[in-house]
Amino acid sequence: MRAAGTAPDPESSTRSGLTSLGEVGCRYQADEIRPEDLPMIAAEAVTAGLDTPTLCELAGLPRNADARDIRDAFERALSEAGIELPDPGLARRHALRRLAVRLINGEIHLPT
């Protein structure tokens, strides 16, 4: 915990932003994130301290921009940040794991 009135560690914010962006990349590959949500996610990553040219470009795109343009910008932004997209099969396995955790935690229920 940081002391009141002190600024957060920018390097820590950037690492956190990279981790979050990597998770988004995995969820993107598993078709859990819609392209129209990616500009806002990019804006949040920029706010967290990530600064790549394409990430900033993506953050400025409107939600109703062409989905292909959004996808292309997102994939370029990940590449610029040094984040590799996982194989779609691996991304789906991670999605199943997240779903199982939510089921075990009682966050979702199976239909009866």
> What is the reported pLDDT for 19?
58
pTM of the model: 0.72
Give dist(CA 67, CA 53) in Å, integer: 19
Over residues 83-103, mean pLDDT: 87
pLDDT value, residue 17:
47
Please give the Cα distance from 21 to 29 (Å, whole number): 12
For the chain, the structural domain boundaries read 10-104
pLDDT of residue 63: 93
Rounded to whole angstroms, the Cα distance separating 76 from 80 reads: 6
Give the pLDDT confidence score for residue 28 in this predicted structure.
92
For the segment 18-76, what is each residue's pLDDT rounded down to a tens digit? Answer: 558 888 999 999 998 999 999 999 999 998 888 899 999 999 999 999 999 999 999 99
